């Protein structure tokens, strides 16, 4: 009889009734891969984790914690761990302080680093205004109705070519080990109020030859967050080292390894949805809603103003029925309206059944307003934030004044991510060229780009 320790992942496998062979067959992988996962020498790839979590009947957050607790069990590896744990406390403290110093980038004003990062790329790769990037076919010449954007579900998953060697942008843990991922370092050292690993829709392909068509599979929020934040951290460190100048490419190894940052096969992407909401006034005094993100509540973007609502493109849970039921840009936008405008709890799949968008409020009212023509949604395509190389879908919601006042009579002034900002006691801003110019320094790069595009196309967007 042996005293061999059963790893946490193996324990959950056994609890779910699987042998290594049967779980490998369930996931269509080799048995030896399961063994490496359970020994902690390798970790499941992003596209494998949703199926693994479903098979073990646990959430992705639980799986993430289990994988972090699954450590190598050989004697040699134990000795190495003990040696690592012997790192002096002063070295750990120095590592964490330096990491926070870079992450908080002293002296940065607004979106300064985003604008500097854009200069790394040729003008042909920048969207109008030069604040964000746009690949071939990404940004449309004119906004199109939301329903004309075709979403394609792709069951197959595939790896990306992006390097996963992030050690130079990660601090030491309190035990003296290098953090396994950027999200875990943020959780422990920054401690934002909102930082949850969720299943997300992963962009696999984009086609614009016959209208905009987007193909998606799945990933997780942390997988994408880790890549984006590592790229941003590397840029900040190089910027500080170069005396606050645009860094050379040789100082940006992570960014350099991405041969084509517009290719979803080379860079892991989960394009969120940013929606500019315009209250269309019959007297022509149109207004829009603006949101200031609270740095103490969110993991990134704190202090900048953004259009509202804005959020990740993701299902409400890991359940297969929700994965398909929520695979809709409009349904994601509705959920964000519910949470950010009305202050409702996040629709996170905690209920035992899928969301009934046709009958549950406030979705029923949103659906009726859209069907009646009082709420119209437009899509501009995609752009990319230069600092993080994070893809964003740009959309515009135009709501007739009486419909807006009815749907959002209970519009909140603060929500889980920040506060709504306005002028003269209102919770909205005038939709004018002057207002956009004045707000320019406070706006995120993608928000400024979307506002300027909408102002350019205002006659098309605001027509009856």
Report whether pLDDT(35) > 50.
yes
What are the pLDDT digits (tens) for 85-124?
457 888 999 999 999 999 988 888 889 999 999 999 999 9
Its sign, for the CA torsion 319, 226, 415, 409, is negative
Residue 76 banded pLDDT, cuts 50, 70, 90: very low
Backbone phi, then psi, for 364, in 5-degree steps? -60, -40
Report whether pLDDT(297) > 60.
no
Q: What pLDDT, on the 0 to 100 scale, is given for residue 42? A: 82
What are the pLDDT digits (tens) for 403-430?
999 999 988 888 777 788 876 567 789 9
Q: What pLDDT, on the 0 to 100 scale, is given for residue 416? A: 72
Residue 320 banded pLDDT, cuts 50, 70, 90: confident
Residue 197 banded pLDDT, cuts 50, 70, 90: confident
Element at 278 (helix H, strand E)? strand 272-280
Give dist(CA 2, CA 223) in Å, integer.
37
What are the pLDDT digits (tens) for 61-71?
788 888 887 76
Residue 2 banded pLDDT, cuts 50, 70, 90: very low
Q: What pLDDT, on the 0 to 100 scale, is given for residue 3? A: 44
Residue 78 banded pLDDT, cuts 50, 70, 90: very low
Element at 394 (helix H, strand E)? strand 390-400
Give dist(CA 324, CA 447) in Å, integer.
29
Q: What pLDDT, on the 0 to 100 scale, is given for residue 157? A: 62
Report whether pLDDT(20) > 80.
yes
Q: What pLDDT, on the 0 to 100 scale, is given for residue 400? A: 98
Q: What pLDDT, on the 0 to 100 scale, is given for residue 311? A: 93
Q: What pLDDT, on the 0 to 100 scale, is given for residue 140? A: 96
Q: What pLDDT, on the 0 to 100 scale, is given for residue 327? A: 96
What's the rounded mean pLDDT across residues 393-399?
98
Indicate the length of the chain as a whole number: 464
Q: What pLDDT, on the 0 to 100 scale, is given for residue 462? A: 95
Q: Is 132 within 8 Å of 445 (Cβ atoms)?
A: yes
For the chain, give the percent of residues with pLDDT over 70. Answer: 89
Burial 127-166 (b: 16+ CB within 10 A, else e): beebbbbbbeebbbeebeebeebeeeeeeebeebebebeb
What's the rounded mean pLDDT across residues 321-341?
95
Average pLDDT of the chain, as a whole number: 87
Who has greater pLDDT, 133 or 168?
Answer: 133
Residue 371, C-beta contacts closer than 8 angstroms, at least 6 positions apart: none
Q: What pLDDT, on the 0 to 100 scale, is given for residue 58? A: 86
Rounded-to-10 torsion of CA 256, 259, 261, 265: -130
Q: Which of 3-17, 233-247, 364-378 has the highest mean pLDDT?
A: 364-378
Report whether pLDDT(397) > 60.
yes
Report whether pLDDT(81) > 50.
no
Q: Give the long-range contacts of residues 108-114, CB within 8 A, separation 24 or more.
A: 109/441, 110/303, 110/304, 110/441, 110/442, 111/304, 111/443, 111/444, 111/445, 113/232, 113/235, 113/236, 113/239, 113/387, 114/385, 114/386, 114/387, 114/444, 114/445
What are the pLDDT digits (tens) for 173-182?
998 999 988 9
């Amino acid at each position: 009889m042996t005293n061999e320790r059963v790893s946490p992942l193996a324990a959950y496998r056994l609890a779910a009734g699987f042998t290594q062979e049967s779980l490998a067959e369930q996931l269509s992988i080799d048995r030896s891969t399961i063994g490496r996962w359970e020994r902690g020498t390798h970790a499941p790839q992003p596209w494998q984790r949703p199926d693994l979590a479903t098979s073990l009947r646990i959430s992705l957050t639980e799986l993430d914690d289990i994988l972090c607790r699954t450590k190598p069990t050989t004697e040699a590896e134990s000795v190495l761990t003990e040696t690592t744990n012997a790192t002096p406390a002063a070295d750990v403290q120095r590592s964490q302080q330096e990491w926070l110093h870079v992450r908080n980038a002293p002296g940065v004003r607004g979106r300064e680093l985003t604008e500097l990062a854009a200069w790394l790329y040729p003008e042909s790769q920048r969207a109008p205004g030069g604040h964000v990037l746009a690949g071939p076919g990404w940004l449309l010449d004119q906004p199109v109705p939301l329903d004309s954007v075709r979403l394609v579900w792709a069951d197959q998953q595939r790896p990306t070519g992006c390097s996963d060697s992030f050690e130079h942008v990660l601090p030491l843990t309190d035990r003296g080990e290098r953090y396994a991922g950027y999200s875990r370092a943020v959780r422990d050292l920054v401690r934002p109020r909102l930082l949850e690993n969720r299943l997300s829709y992963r962009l696999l392909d984009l086609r614009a030859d016959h209208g905009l068509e987007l193909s998606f599979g799945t990933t997780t929020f942390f997988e994408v967050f880790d890549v984006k934040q590592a790229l941003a951290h590397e840029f900040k460190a190089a910027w500080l080292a170069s005396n606050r100048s645009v860094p050379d490419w040789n100082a940006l190894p992570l960014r350099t390894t991405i041969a084509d940052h517009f290719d979803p096969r080379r860079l892991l992407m989960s394009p969120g949805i940013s929606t500019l909401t315009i209250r269309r006034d019959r007297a022509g005094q149109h207004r829009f809603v603006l949101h200031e993100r609270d740095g103490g509540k969110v993991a990134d973007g704190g202090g900048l103003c953004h259009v509202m609502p804005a959020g990740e493109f993701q299902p409400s849970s890991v359940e297969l029925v929700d994965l398909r039921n929520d695979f809709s840009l409009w349904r994601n936008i509705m959920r964000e309206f519910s949470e950010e405008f009305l202050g409702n709890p996040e629709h996170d799949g905690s209920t035992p059944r899928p969301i009934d968008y046709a009958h549950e409020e406030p979705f029923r009212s949103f659906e009726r307003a859209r069907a009646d023509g009082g709420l119209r949604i437009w899509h501009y395509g995609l752009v990319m934030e230069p600092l993080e190389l994070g893809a964003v879908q740009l959309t515009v919601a135009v709501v007739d004044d009486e419909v807006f006042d009815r749907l959002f009579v209970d519009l909140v002034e603060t929500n889980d991510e920040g506060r709504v900002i306005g002028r003269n006691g209102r919770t909205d801003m005038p939709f004018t060229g002057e207002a956009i110019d004045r707000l320019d320094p406070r706006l995120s790069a993608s928000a400024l780009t979307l506002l300027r595009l909408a102002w350019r196309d205002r006659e098309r967007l605001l027509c009856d």
